[in-house]
Amino acid sequence: MLSRKELQRYSRQIMLPQVGEGGQEKLAAARVMIVGLGGLGSPAALYLAAAGVGELHLVDGDRVDISNLQRQVLYKTNHRDKSKAVVAAQQLVAANPEIRVHAHDCMASEAWLRDHISGVDLVLDCTDNLEIRHTLNRTCRDAGRAVVMASVRGFSGQLISFDFAQSASPCYACLFPPRGAEVVENCSTAGVIGPALGVVGSMQALEAIRFLLGQRPASLARLHLFEAASLELRPLQLQSDNACPVCGKEQSEQ
């Protein structure tokens, strides 16, 4: 049951028929892991904290650099050289002291993820690292956890989600098969416009909230391409790949 303070804090979303008091209670009971506290993770974490998601696990081993401040809205100039995960946790608790926030000042290795991912209901991939994204894809699938993935380069963004509690779900490797040591551009090498990260990170938070409320996200197994320069959003349906190195064998047996 929601307290009087919670009813007041979340009143504007509780009045929505898609949320209500029951939905707010679901959010309060939810546990979400956010991997990457940069340009995507900052707005996603802020909105999930503000919405009252009860427990957030923030995973990032980086330190705040002055070049981050153009787009990573959780941090201020005086946070330079401090742990992103620790500072982000402090900022979120300051914004909403009603929730529990855990800082994990480490990189998301496969071993670490396998030890921790079963303790959450949903994962947000907010990284700019393709290797970590494929690791998250495998570990979330093995653990049967839903994941919302996003990336932005320049003015162009991508968003897709998977519910691995469903055995028939395709996965990220169906769309982008792993290619070994392939070099992929990221924000530090290709550049990025800050507001595009804000838009896509906010979309991740929105899709996460829909997952937690038991609703079907629009990005479920659908790749959404966002072009900030033209304000275009285009969805593409993803099909399972029987040759997928992660889920292909399971798909072919069904």
Q: Which of 126, 171, 174, 187 is catalytic?
A: 187
Who's near 8: CB < 8 A, 6+ residues apart?
A: none
d(C-alpha 8, C-alpha 2), whole Å: 10
Q: Which residues pair with 224 in a beta bridge?
A: 159, 235
Give residue for tokens 């989600």.
161
Torsion sign, CA atoms 101, 105, 110, 116: negative
Q: Are 95 and 46 in contact (CB under 8 A)?
A: yes
Q: Are 106 and 36 in contact (CB under 8 A)?
A: no
Residue 151: which H helix or E strand, with range?
Answer: strand 146-153
Q: Does residue 106 have an active-site annotation? A: no
d(C-alpha 240, C-alpha 244), whole Å: 8
Tell which residue, 198, 184, 212, 200, has the closest CA to residue 150: 200
Active site residues: 187
